[in-house]
């Protein structure tokens, strides 16, 4: 286990599964105290973190990122336990895919609410803390479809495009307080979410990825690690595609 984040506190939304869980494990392995915020958290008799070396560094908190009170309550719980927040990763996200003509208002609202509003509320909740510390790292998890679009995902693409604008604006707002804000944009990642795709959809992605494989969650977690590590001290407002070349 590394010590690059020893003494640091990190919050990962959507942290109990898929990409979020991989990020939790990566940062905990670097010594951070990590709080996994999720709408559905593991039951007490379920194994959340398998690695016994980092179990004590990880705690899950139930939260609804679309609700201001829920977010603030979770942030207060973290502050009560550690007294600081050094890292926020806005990873919580959902899909409700449909063609525009068939997309319901609720399908639009739920995706924008979780993906974009959720990132806004969580960032707002930790920003004053980070400003007082005069230090912090915020990493938003977007998607390549936020840059290139995707048929049947007008709501999801819009939410991820909004996160790019949010990232760049916040980088300008918070930079003077030494708070760095960047975005990691995954392509096709092998997770429970993408397992819902049809075989035809999966093959489409694989045929168009120069590396001819989907990403693993740890590939995204490694990119997040770069943005929260000391190696990225002079980088803010950037969008990093981790997509095997899919968006070329």
Q: List the catalytic residues.
A: 156
Q: What's the rounded Cα separation, in Å, for the pair 18 and 9?
A: 21
Exposure string of 54-68, with b = 16+ CB inside 10 Å and e = fewer, is beebbbbbebbbbee
Residues 6+ apart with CB under 8 A from 78: 9, 11, 35, 61, 85
Residue 29 · residue 10 · CB < 8 Å: no
Q: What is the DSSP letter of 165?
A: H
Return the biggest CA–CA distance within the chain. Answer: 51
- Tell the residue number behind the tokens 């230090």, with chain if given: 135
Residue 59 · residue 36 · CB < 8 Å: yes
């Amino acid at each position: 286990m590394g010590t690059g984040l020893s003494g640091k506190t990190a919050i990962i939304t959507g942290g109990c599964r898929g990409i979020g869980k991989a990020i939790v494990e990566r940062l905990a392995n670097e010594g951070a105290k990590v709080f996994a915020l999720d709408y559905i958290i593991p039951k007490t008799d379920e194994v959340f973190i398998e690695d016994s070396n980092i179990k004590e560094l990880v705690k899950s908190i139930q939260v609804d990122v679309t609700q201001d009170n829920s977010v603030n309550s979770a942030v207060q719980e973290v502050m009560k336990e550690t007294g600081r927040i050094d890292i926020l990763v806005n990873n919580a996200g959902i899909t409700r895919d449909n063609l525009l003509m068939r997309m319901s208002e609720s399908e639009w609202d739920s995706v924008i609410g979780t993906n974009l509003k959720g990132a806004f509320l969580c960032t707002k909740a930790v920003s004053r803390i980070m400003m007082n510390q005069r230090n912090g790292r915020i990493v938003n998890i977007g998607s390549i479809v936020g840059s290139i679009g995707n048929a049947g995902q007008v709501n999801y693409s819009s939410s991820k495009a909004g996160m790019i604008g949010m990232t760049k604006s916040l980088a300008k707002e918070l930079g003077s307080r030494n708070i760095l804000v960047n975005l990691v944009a995954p392509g096709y990642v092998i997770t429970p979410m993408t397992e819902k795709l049809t075989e035809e959809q999966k093959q489409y992605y694989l045929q168009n990825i120069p590396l001819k494989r989907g990403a693993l969650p740890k590939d995204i977690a490694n990119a997040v690690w770069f943005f929260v590590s000391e190696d990225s001290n002079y980088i803010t407002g950037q969008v990093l595609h981790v997509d095997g070349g899919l968006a070329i």
